[in-house]
């Protein structure tokens, strides 16, 4: 980035407002967009490198609520496609990275406008491809728009460079330049927002990006690439490589990749860090890994808590527990444990499990058969290590429906208390004090999000000082971080690097350059 004072006349950043789904007109517009989408299924997702498109039906994404419905058919990227995409990205990045930040910002803001225009269509696509309920799908599109708008402004801010200390007889300046080709390896649970966030950050910083979407959601990722091209992003600056894990592994190992932006499980993230640390012959750089990984998000309920707030925050099954930030472990003061258990059980038993497209649904299906089998195995394990306190009925017929379940009295050594389930399973634990709850949390390998429900300001201050999580929420739910307001990211085995949607995030995609100039000229000092 070069030091320029001029910036485009962008208004201050504001989060994109979600739809008012209590309004009948809004609900009808969503249903109409779903009907229009259904008439076009299955969508075709190509391997897209530069101006080249290669279509195919190597694999398909399907509707988790109706697995026989194919939402998209996609071509599988090959090793040759990975090589071509990285080479093309390296060439394109040299030109893109030289553009002023204002020009790059203009493209990102234009892409946000495309997503805004296609908002209903994209929400419908998420409902079908990932069984994301309407409120969650709409919020996901809004977050994608936020990332584009926010990082556009951040690029302009960072282009000015920081102010350094000066001494008589020298001039010190600092600027940031693009790091190089960024491999973006994205998840399915936020199928538009997360790939948009990682990709937008890379592009805002002047890098080229190669996007490998989750195999469960290739069509949603295609919409992002289409929006960027429509907005004027040069060919080659973004590539789309649909496929399975082998495609992501090839990108991680590729010597032409400089930064790897990953969101997914802790196991995969740690393997990426391990492989990325290699520096084979011909690779003249050490790869950076920006990873947002799993969580085992605790929720502490003290004896003075408002249970009207705590109960709905704990039962975070609105997306079937498939959010890395969803509460999965409730640690409650023993004096109110019975009351809280009764209220949580009552809420769980009343949850309506059903298709994501129905606005009355509380809990949609999980993403695929393998996910349901994994979650049911944890439920069985919990029944052996403790006891089931409540469960909700599930519909019969097709669909990967999984009953929301509340368990309690687990053995302290139970894997259910330490491992990420990524499903609608909530564990309740009795603790003698908030301090005891903090001790159990400190023993966890994860530190993504957490919540505290307490009225005493001293308790709040003590937990805030002690908590290792990246995002601690006080008297509110653990999900729903907003770009610019709650930068999101974890510590320990939950993540590396700066928080997404915050003022430090773009720095991970940049290299600093410092220039010190001796300003003395023939014995004269020039200030």
28: exposed, middle or buried (Cβ count in 10 Å: 0-12, 13-18, 19+): exposed
pTM for the full model?
A: 0.96
Residue 172 in 3-state DSSP? strand
Residues 6+ apart with CB under 8 A from 44: 55, 72, 73, 74
The reply to whether 46-293+495-513 and 297-474 are identical in fold is: no
Mean pLDDT for the stretch of residues 169-184:
97
pLDDT in tens, 456-485: 999 999 999 999 999 999 999 999 999 999
* Alpha-carbon 85 to chain mean position: 24
Is the pLDDT score of 4 beyond 90?
A: no
- Which pLDDT score, from 0 to 100, does residue 497 have? 84
- Spatial contact of 392 and 404, defined as CB atoms under 8 Å apart: yes
Query: What single string gives the DSSP state of each residue in 458-500?
Result: HHHHHHHHH---SEEEESS-S----TTTS-B--EETTB-SSPB
Q: Can you tell me which residue has the tokens 């495309």?
A: 114
Over the Cα atoms of the chain, what is R_g? 24
- Please give the pLDDT value at position 9: 76
Q: How far apart are CA 444 and CA 448, in angstroms?
A: 11
Q: Say what the pLDDT of residue 523 is.
A: 57
Q: What pLDDT is stored for residue 7 in this prediction?
A: 46
Domain boundaries, the chain: 46-293+495-513, 297-474
526 pLDDT more than 90 = no
Q: Stretch 85-103: mean pLDDT, rounded?
A: 97
Average pLDDT over residues 111-139: 98
Alpha-carbon distances of 308 from 305, 340, 362, 429, 489, rounded to whole Å: 9, 10, 18, 19, 28
Would the pLDDT of 137 be above 60?
Answer: yes
Catalytic residue annotation: 292, 324
| Selection from 182, 287, 188 nearest residue 245 by Cα | 188
Which CATH code is given to the segment(s) 46-293+495-513? 3.40.605.10
| The pLDDT value given to residue 397 | 86
| pLDDT (tens digit per residue) in 142-160 | 999 999 999 999 999 999 9
Residues 158 and 510: beta-carbon distance below 8 Å: yes
State the Cα–Cα distance between residues 147 and 364, nearest whole angstrom: 26
Burial of 241 (0-12, 13-18, 19+ CB in 10 A): buried
Architecture of domain 297-474: 3-Layer(aba) Sandwich (3.40)
Percentage of residues of the chain with pLDDT beyond 70: 97
What six digits make up the tokens of 437?
A: 């709850």
For the stretch 20-29, pLDDT in tens is 999 999 999 9
Give the Cα separation of 496 and 482 in Å (integer).
19
Burial pattern 180-190, b for ≥16 Cβ within 10 A else e, equals: bbbbbbbbbbb
Instruction: Say what the pLDDT of residue 412 is.
Output: 95
Write out the E strands in 191-276: 209-212, 238-240, 259-263
CB of 504 closer than 8 Å to CB of 303 = no
- The CA-based angle 182-185-189, given to 5 degrees, is 140
> Is the pLDDT at 89 greater than 80, yes or no?
yes
Question: Nearest-CA neighbor of 196 among 491, 507, 500, 497?
Answer: 500
């Amino acid at each position: 980035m070069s030091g320029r004072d001029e910036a485009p006349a962008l208004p201050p950043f504001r989060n994109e407002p979600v739809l008012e789904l209590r309004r009948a007109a809004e609900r009808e517009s969503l249903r109409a967009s779903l009907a229009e989408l259904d008439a076009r299924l299955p969508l075709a997702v190509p391997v897209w490198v530069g101006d080249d498109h290669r279509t195919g039906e190597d694999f398909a994404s399907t509707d988790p609520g109706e697995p026989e419905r194919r939402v998209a058919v996609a071509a599988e990227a090959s090793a040759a496609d990975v090589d071509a995409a990285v080479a093309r990205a390296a060439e394109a990045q040299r030109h893109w990275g030289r553009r002023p930040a204002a020009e790059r910002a203009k493209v990102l803001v234009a892409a946000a406008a495309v997503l805004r225009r296609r908002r209903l269509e994209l929400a419908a696509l998420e409902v079908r491809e990932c069984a994301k309920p309407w409120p969650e799908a709409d919020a996901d599109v809004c977050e994608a728009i936020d990332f584009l708008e926010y990082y556009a402004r951040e690029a302009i801010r960072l282009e000015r460079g920081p102010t350094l200390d000066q001494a008589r007889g020298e001039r010190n300046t600092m600027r940031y330049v693009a790091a190089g080709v960024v491999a973006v390896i994205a998840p399915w649970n936020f199928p538009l927002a997360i790939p948009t966030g990682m990709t937008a950050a890379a592009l805002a910083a002047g890098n080229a990006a190669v996007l490998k979407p989750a195999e469960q959601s290739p069509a949603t990722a295609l919409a992002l690439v289409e929006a960027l091209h429509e907005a004027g992003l040069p060919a080659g600056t973004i590539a789309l490589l649909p496929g399975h894990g082998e495609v992501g592994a090839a990108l991680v190992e590729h010597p032409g990749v400089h930064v790897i932006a990953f969101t997914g499980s802790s196991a995969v993230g740690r393997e990426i860090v391990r492989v990325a640390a290699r520096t084979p012959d011909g690779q003249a750089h050490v790869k950076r890994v920006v990873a947002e990984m799993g969580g085992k998000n605790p929720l502490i309920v003290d004896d003075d808590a408002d249970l009207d707030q705590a109960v709905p925050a704990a039962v975070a099954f609105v997306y079937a527990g498939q959010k890395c930030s969803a509460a999965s472990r409730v640690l409650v003061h023993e004096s109110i444990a019975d009351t809280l258990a009764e209220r949580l059980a009552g809420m769980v038993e009343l949850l309506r499990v059903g298709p994501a497209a129905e606005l009355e649904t509380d809990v949609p299906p999980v993403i695929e058969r393998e996910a349901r089998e994994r979650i049911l195995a944890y439920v069985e394990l919990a029944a052996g290590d403790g006891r089931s306190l409540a469960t909700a009925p599930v519909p019969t017929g097709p669909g990967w429906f999984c009953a929301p379940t509340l368990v309690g009295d687990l053995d302290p050594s139970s894997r259910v208390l330490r491992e990420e389930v990524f499903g609608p399973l909530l564990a309740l634990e009795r603790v003698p004090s908030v301090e005891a709850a903090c001790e159990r949390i400190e023993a966890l390998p994860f530190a993504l999000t957490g919540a505290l429900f307490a009225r005493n300001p001293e308790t709040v201050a003590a937990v805030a000082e002690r908590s290792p999580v990246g995002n601690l929420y006080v008297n509110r739910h653990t999900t729903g971080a907003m770009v610019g307001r709650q930068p999101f990211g974890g510590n320990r085995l939950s993540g590396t690097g700066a928080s997404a949607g915050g003022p430090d995030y773009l720095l991970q995609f940049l290299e600093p350059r410092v220039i010190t100039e001796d300003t003395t000229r023939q014995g004269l000092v020039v200030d």
